[in-house]
Chains A and B, each alone.
Chain A
Amino acid sequence: MSHRVFLGLGSNLGDRRHNLQEALARLAALVKLRQVSSVYETAPWGYKDQPQFLNAVCGGDTELLPRRLLQEAKVIEAALGRTSSLPNAPRPIDIDILLYDDLVSQSPNLVIPHPRLAERAFVLVPLAEIAPELVHPALGVTVSDLFQRCGEVTDVRLWGRLEVPVERG
């Protein structure tokens, strides 16, 4: 049975556009991609003295259960050279599971929906672009509503697009 999943991608080390593109190409083997957002440039969180992030989100259908998908995403992160596990350190690519069907899971090793989803503009801006009507299963409000609540977005700006074949339907 396939499950609808939304993933967040971020890169602030090396050839950032290439990293996003490569991660997406590899994710396409795990997730039948339906939608890919534009790329946005974002000021980093945590350690401020590091390059700006490029962020994008994608949505699609997968047969993989959440932890299996996360495990495979970690393989992609490692393959693209991520070495540090510090949450806010520079990294070639970071892949987060944002939403997985209407699952609400608070287990120690995987929290879904992603805890940053509801508050961080660098996730909400691209997600609102591709899925504004999507309902956050724990909060019961749409992505569009969450985006409105974010207030004025000053640190996230449109940067470009990725070239990825997206399957419609």
Chain B
Amino acid sequence: MVPSTRTVAATRWRRWEFVWGRKTYVMGIINVTPDSFSGDGFGDDVEAAVAQGLRFVREGADLLDVGGESSRPLASARVEAAVSGRKAQEAERVSVEEELRRVVPVIEGLSHQVEVPISVDTTKVRVAEAALRAGASIINDVWGLRRDPALAQVAAAAGAPLVLMHNQVGIHYEGDVVERVMEGLAWSRDLALQQGVPREHIILDPGFGFGKTPQHNLELLSRLSELRLLGHPLLLGASRKSTIGRVLGLPVEERLEGTAATVALAIAQGMDVVRVHDVRAMVRVARMSDAVVRGWSESQ
């Protein structure tokens, strides 16, 4: 008798094929926001953003994630805005037009120069559609269809893989946080399936650092292996996040080693994709972890 877990073995779309379990895929983050929490936002500098994408690919990134809407929780953005004296509106959700203006040229610029797939980090249908036209081929929704369920239809129509992240307003969980996250992800997954996204195109992300306390995030990180019960490829994005800062007492520009620890632990527990800012370093961490976890031979 075999266990009932039906696991997606591979995801194929356009000219790409990701075989899950063979290696850890490294996703490089390209922020074209003016207010990125990690301090790497390019704002309106298209050339610099494209140059970073090209560098990421040279450094071994397997895919690039372009986002123009800061996914930093609004509450903390408002607090920081108040502290720094900036106008609160500045940190509010950017308008669709502004997000389009930031994201589309970068995706266009990259898609003509790189072989790796490009994902668009957005919660808006119009942005997703424009990004797909500009050359993106994956949609990364940090609200797991909770903001706009129609994103699934866009993905289905374009034959684009869809990353669904767990997210919620507030930090309250009834009972076990990991199981509530898994139920939330299953809900998002089911909504995507209902709208015609093939099972093989759905990638799940537990949303480290979103709607969770540092304790929640550490609990999640220690129990990532349980997420495999969902049967989908899994993405973890813990890069430079504040939980690392809290544990180490370090600012965002000094979280490389903490991030490396999360990447290694994620791979040891069966994660398939890691979303990171520091591509060169994390590709090395991933290759070393892969050698231990997935096997290695001299010829590699």
Q: A1-B230, A1-B231, A107-B223 are in contact. Are A65 and B182 (CB under 8 A)?
A: yes
Contacts of B175 in A (CB 8 A): 67-68, 71
Instruction: State how many angstroms separate the Cβ of B53 from the closest Cβ of chain A.
Output: 36
**Which one, B1-9, B39-47, B66-74, is touching chain A?**
B1-9
Query: Do B3 and A101 touch across chains, with their CB atoms under 8 A apart?
Result: yes
Q: Check B3–A4 contact: CB distance below 8 A.
A: yes
Q: Is B148 an interface residue (CB 8 A)?
A: no
A126 contacts the other chain (CB 8 A): no
Query: Does A28 lie at the interface of the complex (its beta carbon under 8 Å from any beta carbon of B)?
Result: no
Contact A65 B229 (CB under 8 A): yes
Give chain B residues whose Cβ lies under 8 Å from the Cβ of A129: none
Within the complex, what minimum Cβ distance (angstroms) separates B165 from chain A? 19
Picked from B182, B186, B222, the residue with its CB within 8 Å of the CB of A107 is B222
CB-contact partner of A66 in B1, B183, B226, B228, under 8 A: B226
A89 within 8 A of B: no
Q: Judge whether B225 is part of the interface by a CB distance below 8 angstroms.
A: yes
Whether B179 sits at the interface, judged by CB under 8 Å, is yes
Report chain B residues within 8 Å CB of A67.
175-176, 178-179
Beta-carbon contacts under 8 Å, A48-62 to B? 61
What per-residue 1/0 map shows which CB atoms of B149-186 lie under 8 Å from chain A? 00000000000000000000000000110110011001
Chain A residues near B179: list those with CB within 8 A.
Answer: 65-68
Interfacial chain B residues near A101, Cβ < 8 Å: 3-5, 229
Q: How far is the CB of B223 from chain A (nearest CB, A)?
A: 5
Measured in the bound complex, the distance between the Cα atoms of B179 and A105 in whole Å is 13
B1 adjacent to A133 (CB under 8 Å): yes
User: In residues 86-105 of chain A, which contact B (Cβ within 8 Å)?
Assistant: 100-105
Q: What separation, in Å, do the CA atoms of A61 and B1 have in the docked complex? A: 13
Is A3 part of the binding interface, using a Cβ–Cβ cutoff of 8 Å?
Answer: yes
CB-contact partner of B226 in A1, A2, A71, A103, under 8 A: A103
Interchain nearest-CB distance for A9 vs B (Å): 19
Complex: how many Å from CA A102 to CA B222? 17
B204-228 contacts to A (CB < 8 Å): 222-223, 225-226, 228
Residues of B at the A interface (CB closer than 8 Å) are 1, 3-6, 175-176, 178-179, 182-183, 186, 222-223, 225-226, 228-231
